[in-house]
Structure 1
Amino acid sequence: MTTPAIRQKIARLAAGGRPRVLDLFSGCGGISLGFHAAGFEIAAAIEHDPDAAKSHGMNFHKSDNRHWKARDITKTKPAELTKELDLGHPALAFDVIVGGPPCQAFARVGRSKLREVADHPEAFRHDDRAELYIDYLQYVEACSPLVVLMENVPDMLNHGGHNIAEEVCEVLSSRGYVCGYTLLNAALYGVPQMRERMFLLAYHKGIAEGVSFPAPTHWIELPAGYDGSRAVALKLLANVSENERSDHYTPPPPPKRPLPPAVTAAEALGDLPALDARKLLAEGMLKRGARRFDQPLPLALPDRLPDFAHQMRNWQGFEGAQTVADHVIRYLPRDYPLFARLEPGDQYPEAIACAEKMFEEALAAMKAQGNTIRKNSPAWKMLRASIIPPYDPGKFPNKWRKMEADKPSRTLMAHLGKDSYSHIHYDSAQARTISVREAARLQSFPDGFVFAGTMNPAFRQIGNAVPPLLSKALAAAIRAQLDDALQGRTIQQKKTGQR
């Protein structure tokens, strides 16, 4: 059924209005940025983390600090949000809702409960993990969007014995939407990172009869580990009978050669200023403590930039300056010499083996100078701790990884805010982990996009984000679907003599 609110929204878009986006669980704005680039208006966002909420507001509502405020979706009702931001009635304020509740919120919400959630939300308030999902659905119910886009980890398809994406589709289908979901890898869409995520897309039946996802723009042969992770995520789908098989899941659109190769780490980072961590440490320029973005570094202006770097410097509305202020790195003095000796692709077991060799070399050098240290003595233990990281390689095999210059990076994680050892710079001369701006580049945030807070909060915001270029590809597909629907309505109105 097409409601008056849906009809009004369609009429507004048909008259040339820009589609308005509400970003729930927005973080700093990775999804929002992609939609902004595709011509959507970022009308509002809800994000509970103060630094991320401020980042979103600073980038999309520079002159209106009402949008900079952190908001808790469990305490902020749709009518309260739209009233506070002067956006009118919730049912008319937004055309598109994007975002994704944390996956752990869904663990014990059964399929029968999900079907009833919009009608009887209070019945499940005792289950805290269901609450965020309930609030998300309440926003969809109150705001009547034309389009819903949800993003989450692939394990959402196999989380605690539930295919949450399928269950979300069932609820949205009962509310008048056509739905589909798939798995997309960011490297296939121009992002210099092999990041796999689930995307669920729903259109109101008044504007679409089916769902499709954007075709890849780049090509790469993904490492075997990604196939394994995808197989685990799809296990529930693979094990259902033919009669129970989902009609909502869509296999990822395959890349069709010839396509340009995936963007590499060197193409993404090579134009940024070199930071020799050991030199900075020796000169006293790198110290323990919070890293603020108050020391801009000049950017080189080469005659020829890689296409990706050029795009990051010249993103419309988010153009970079001739300096970069958030190109800051972690204080890790023990590990800089070890970083320098690792080979591209090395992980923690290789790092430990290399560190053990460095320790033996240090012992031999001291012995050559007549200073033999007895094994397990306090001096021996102190020297060992100054060279060898303390983590068990059996428990943390993937904790470290040195990037390869000629490949996209592996997935950036939220724990970048704690260590960033998962992304050691490929340039051994620099001997360090990546900077905040380099992490932003690997996620495809342009140089003019700013992050609130200091280094650790910025790393966390970046690691949690949806890559803007992947979001842009989805947004462009959605915009094309909206335009096609509006064009079809215009033609039909002309045929029937309607105005």
Structure 2
Amino acid sequence: MKGNDILVIDLFSGPGGLGEGFASYQNNNEEYPFKIGMSVEKDPHAHMTLTTRAFYRLAKQKGCLDGYYQYLNSNLSRAKLFESYKGIYESAFQETLEGPSELGKDNDHIHARVKELTENHNGPKILIGGPPCQAYSLAGRSRNAGNKNYVPKEDHRHFLYKEYLKVLSIAKPDVFVMENVRGILTAKVENQLIFPQILNDLQNPSKITGSDSCPSYRIYSLVEKTDEADNSTPASLNYLIRFEEFGIPQARHRVILLGVREDIKQIPDILDKNIYPKVSVKEAIGDLPKLRSGLSKKADSYDSWQEVVSKNAETLSKLHNIGVDVNKTDLQPYEDLKRKETVHKNKSLNQLPDHLRKWILDPELNLVLNHETRGHMESDLLRYSFCALHGEQRRFSPKAENFPAELAPQHQNWNSGSYNDRFRVQVSTKAATTITSHISKDGHYFIHYDPKQCRSLTVREAARLQTFPDNYIFEGNRTNQYTQVGNAVPPFLARQISEIVFSLIKKHYSNL
């Protein structure tokens, strides 16, 4: 690593969305100034994904991607790929700490590596990552509220940000980026909002870590301009980023904090809402191969699926006052659909706007990765048909009260309001709703907009909505892959943040 490279330490990495955005940033000289020194992730499948992507990045730098594309084309196993390019693999494996690592449990190993990297690097350093959010998320808090034995102050997940602080005190980076769910703004422990405490601790890490040598930081918003270098009241700023306003095809709303070391007197820019157009679901995924769902409770075949979907179309046509005109839309299924497709026949017909076309598509890749459907029960497929039809004609996903009584699931709480969004179609003309790890469970919140496909989204479609490049492969089984995608930060949003960070650091260092 060169002295003017910017060392990146990535914590709670997931499959690497935040790191991908930074590592992919090119400056005006078409150089890649951000170099990932280490990525910390405890999940073994996400760790595999991180290592494969680190291999891709390092192989690209050396101009030897032939083996990687052979792996994507299933002409080379992952083990054989790493064996054939042993030096690159060893560097990639070292970058991901030679195995899954968990902050709070493997601190000796993690902290030693942070110390080694930072002491041997004379150039700029940044820290990125988002502590796990289950304790802060609205869904997580709702689950916890139903548990009479749940005690917030005993939930260690509320305090995982302190593990972030420990690394901060060792690395002493020029800048840090910390991401979390919007629920962090309203989460409480012992009736006290936790967010002001987190802000205060991030400003003054030494108070928590006891490290006298740790500098202080100023906390900035990425969407609200701060006029003064001394932002002594950061709690008054708006930290919530609405991703759909920045060229991401998804209404994902997250809190992202930008910390700047006290000796750096530059004020960071903010994200620009006027650069990229808004992107719809159909623009993002419409070119991907059409697929059918599987059948989970009977023999699975195209003929069986076609029979079920055709029968469902007939059932819908007999219902009255359901808010849609069944005769207006052809619900008969496409011919000869598969559950998995690797050939990307319609790549040239994509409707991606320019910024995502350049970011997502790979001219060297003519196949589709991680594009396979899950199985569903017949009764749920009927509801999927209705939801897709409703989304196509009404331009919004039906709530529980919009469902005909004949389609209501046999659930005693269906009309309670708690299950209002139990089935949610991703409307083709709008940005997607937030892709979450729940997509690994049943797919009901992520119904494809096309009623003739009658299914939930695939991993690749979810990855497109998260702006992962098409050559980004997710390791593990399909459930593992869904979880990784749902937990990630959209790389293209991270790429925009990296530009702000680079600009700030460049103003401070004259040799960049």
TM interval, short-chain normalised: 0.5 to 0.7
- Would the aligned equivalents of 2:220 and 2:259 in 1 still touch at CA under 8 Å? yes
Q: 1:275 aligns with which of 283, 288, 291?
A: 291
* Aligned match of 2:165: 137
Task: Verify: 1:171 aligned to 2:191, yes or no.
Answer: no
CA deviation string 1:9-29 (max 9, x = no partner):
xxx98x6x2211111111011
Q: Which amino acid aligns with 1:135?
A: E
> Is residue 213 of structure 2 the alignment partner of residue 213 of structure 1?
no
2:406 equivalent in structure 1: 357
Q: Which consecutive unaligned segments of at least 5 residues does structure 1 have?
A: 1-11, 108-124, 219-259, 287-293, 360-384, 491-499
Structure 2 distance, partners of 1:305, 1:271, is 5
Write out aligned runs for 1:411-450 (5 A).
Answer: 411-450=434-473
Task: Say if 2:111 and 2:167, in contact at 8 Å, map to a contact too.
Answer: no
Tell me by how many angstroms 1:327 deviates. Answer: 0.8
Distance 2:363 2:101 in 1: 28
Output aligned runs, 1:372-383, within 5 Å. none
How far did residue 456 of structure 1 move? 0.8
> Could you tell me which residue of structure 2 aligns to residue 36 of structure 1?
23
Matched residue, 2:279: 263
| Pairwise CA distance, 1:47 | 1.1
- C-alpha spacing 1:467/1:330, structure 2 compared with 1 (3 Å): same
Percent identity of paired positions between Structure 1 and Structure 2: 26
TM-score, normalised with respect to structure 1: 0.68
From 248, 253, 264, give the equivalent of 1:191. Answer: 248
Deviation at 1:281, TM superposition (A): 4.0
> Is the aligned partner of 1:410 residue 2:454?
no
1:295 Cα deviation from its structure 2 partner: 5.7
1:346 to 397, 413, 424: 397
- Does residue 1:101 correspond to 2:131, yes or no? yes
Equivalent of 1:149 in 161, 173, 177? 177
| SS of 1:323 mapped into structure 2 | coil
Q: Could you list the per-position Cα deviations for residues 114-148 of structure 1 after superposition, in whole angstroms to 9, with x for gaps in the alignment?
A: xxxxxxxxxxx987345522221110001111111
Structure-2 separation of matches of 1:192 and 1:358: 30
**How far, CA to CA, are the matches of 1:276 and 1:426 in structure 2?**
13
How far, CA to CA, are the matches of 1:180 and 1:320 in structure 2? Answer: 39
Query: What is the distance in 1 between the residues matched to 2:123 and 2:508?
Result: 20
CA contact (8 A) 2:16 2:488 kept: yes
Render the CA deviation track for 1:142-192: whole Å, top value 9, x for unaligned.
111111110011121221154544333322333321112411011111110
Q: Deviations over 1:286-333 (max 9, x none)?
A: 9xxxxxxx96521124555323488457648x7662111311112003
Counterpart pick for 2:373 among 329, 349, 352: 329
8 Å CA contact 2:400, 2:422 repeated in 1? no
SS of the equivalent of 1:297 reads coil
State the match for 1:25 in structure 2: 12
Distance 2:268 2:199 in 1: 12
Question: Are residues 1:71 and 2:94 paired?
Answer: no
Question: What is the CA distance between 1:90 and its match in structure 2?
Answer: 8.0
2:202 counterpart of 1:180: no
Task: Give, in angstroms, the shift of residue 402 of structure 1.
Answer: 1.1
- C-alpha change, 1:126 and 1:273, in structure 2 (3 Å) is closer
Equivalent residue, structure 2, for 1:117: none
Q: Deviations over 1:411-453 (max 9, x none)?
A: 1111111112111111111111111100000111111111111
What one-letter code is carried by the residue in structure 1 that aligns with 2:352? Answer: D
Matches within 5 A, 1:77-116: 77=107, 80=110, 82-83=112-113, 87=117, 89=119, 95-103=125-133
Q: 1:295 to 1:404 in 2, by over 3 A?
A: closer
How far did residue 102 of structure 1 move? 2.6
Question: Per the alignment, do residues 278 and 215 of structure 1 end up closer, same or farther by CA in structure 2, a change over 3 Å counting?
Answer: same
CA contact (8 A) 1:189 1:469 kept: no
Q: Which whole-Å CA distance do the structure 1 matches of 2:11 and 2:503 have between them?
A: 23
Q: Higher Cα Rg: structure 1 or 2?
A: 1
Correspondent of 2:344 among 277, 285, 299: 299
1:457 aligned counterpart, secondary structure: helix
- Of residues 396-405 and 59-68 in structure 1, the stretch that sits farther from structure 2 once superposed is 59-68
- Give the gaps of 5 or more residues in structure 2: 26-31, 57-88, 138-152, 205-214, 222-238, 307-338
Corresponding letter in the other structure for 1:139: V
The answer as to whether partners of 1:28 and 1:465 remain within 8 angstroms in 2 is: yes
Amino acid across the alignment from 1:208 = K
Distance 2:107 2:453 in 1: 49
Letter in 1 for 2:457: I
Give yes or no for contact 1:320–1:448 (8 Å, CA) kept in 2.
no
Task: Report the CA distance shift for 1:37/1:391 in structure 2 as closer, same or farther (over 3 A).
Answer: farther
Q: For residues 52-98 of structure 1, give each alpha carbon's deviation from its aligned partner in whole angstroms, at most 9, with x where no partner exists.
A: 12111211245233426210111223665554997464886971111
SS of structure 2 residue aligned to 1:449: coil
